[in-house]
Amino acid sequence: MIFIPLSFAVSLFLVAFLLRLLLQGRESLMRNHLFVLLIGLYAVQTTLVGLRWGYGLTAVLPLLSLLATAIPPLTYLAFRDLAREDGVGLSLSDWPHLLPTAAIVVLHFVWRDPIDLLIIAEFLAYGLRLLWLARLGPDGLVAARLDGTLRSHRSLLLAALALVASAFTDIAISLDLLWGEGRHSALMVSAATTAILLLLGIAAVVAGAEEGDGEGDGVGEKEEEEVGEENARASVDASASRLPQALSGEHEAVATSLDRLMAERRLYGDTGLNLGKLARRMGLPARTVSQAVNRVHRMSVSQYVNNFRVADACRLLAETDMPVTRIVFEAGFMTKSNFNREFLRVTGSSPTAFRAMHGATASMIEPAG
């Protein structure tokens, strides 16, 4: 009987989702290149884990260590880009993230003893950095599509916890080698590494899929942003433009202006809408817009926007015979699963049940909750 390590099955799982992302087109690939690269890296690493601990191939150990040091910084950079309002992406200033990998290469030739300790410290440090990045909640991912920002945030938390768990697992393995003569080390390394890479892969797959499905704006992206920005900025009270230490009245002004902008220009119909775009349309920092929505409407920006989308979906369900699958996109959602989840949250029923039971009462749903 041929023995197939579990890690190979994980590799196949990751490769399948990698192909799915690649087949979404060049635009999606460019927008999610870091997540695509991450999933590919995880797939290679799990394959190497299977070769080392499934078949005893020790020649892959140097490559395992080298790729391991690339995982934490790349994971951090991929999620960090979702939290950057400027949308710059990678830049030359990110070069320090290459230092752990460079250090491993040097240490491999001059002094191998600290390698394991360096990897442990790196996984722990980047795991904590991701947890710090997640502290602001879903609204902190200003570049994430509002249709899937909640799942992207959960993926961020999952990736952070997986990196921290990997560090503590390596510590446990080191202690087993020190005090237990390494009796359980092989099993711990194989099982724990495979499980952690699977969790990281799931996090990257979910986040990459959430950000990779958008085909464009429902309101004409760049031109609309440039034309609408001046009008929207003028509609915000002067007091609301001077935020950093926003008072409740200023939050009300920003929220009122946003309500009007959403209703009049139907921004929620843009399937690729994110907090960064909303903030640019208003000429305000993303954090200012987020705080105004959080404090005035008592909900996240994604919930706020999705309330408008669900209200529009309710109208379409009540007033037209349009198929639900078409209403999903007409209302601004990108995936049917997100649509069904948000529809249930707002109305307490499924779209089909709502169409059958509520009909003319669709107008009773208030967008901002």
Mean pLDDT, residues 184-205: 70
Residue 274: beta bridge partners?
Answer: 145
318-347 per-residue burial string, b: 16 or more CB within 10 A, e: under 16: beeeeebeebbbbbbbbbeebbbebbeebb
* Weakest mean pLDDT among 210-219, 267-276, 329-338, 346-355: 210-219
The alpha carbons of the chain give a radius of gyration, in whole angstroms, of 24
Question: Looking at the chain, how many residues does it have?
Answer: 369
What is the C-alpha separation between 84 and 133, in angstroms, rounded? 11
For residue 275, pLDDT beyond 50: yes
Prediction pTM value: 0.79
* Torsion over CA: 322, 326, 328, 332 (sign): negative
Reported as a pLDDT band with limits 50, 70 and 90, residue 177 is: low
Reported as a pLDDT band with limits 50, 70 and 90, residue 170 is: confident
* 63-70: long-range contacts, CB 8 A cutoff, minimum separation 24: 65/104, 65/108, 65/115, 65/119, 66/101, 66/104, 66/105, 66/108, 67/41, 68/119, 69/100, 69/101, 69/103, 69/104, 69/118, 69/119, 69/122, 70/41, 70/101
What is the C-alpha separation between 320 and 183, in angstroms, rounded? 67
Q: Which residue did the predictor score with more confidence, 325 or 180?
A: 325
What letter does residue 361 receive in the DSSP assignment? G
**Span 195-254, pLDDT tens digits:** 777 777 777 777 766 665 544 444 444 444 443 344 434 334 433 444 444 456 788 888
In terms of average pLDDT, the best of 51-65, 148-162, 164-178 is 148-162
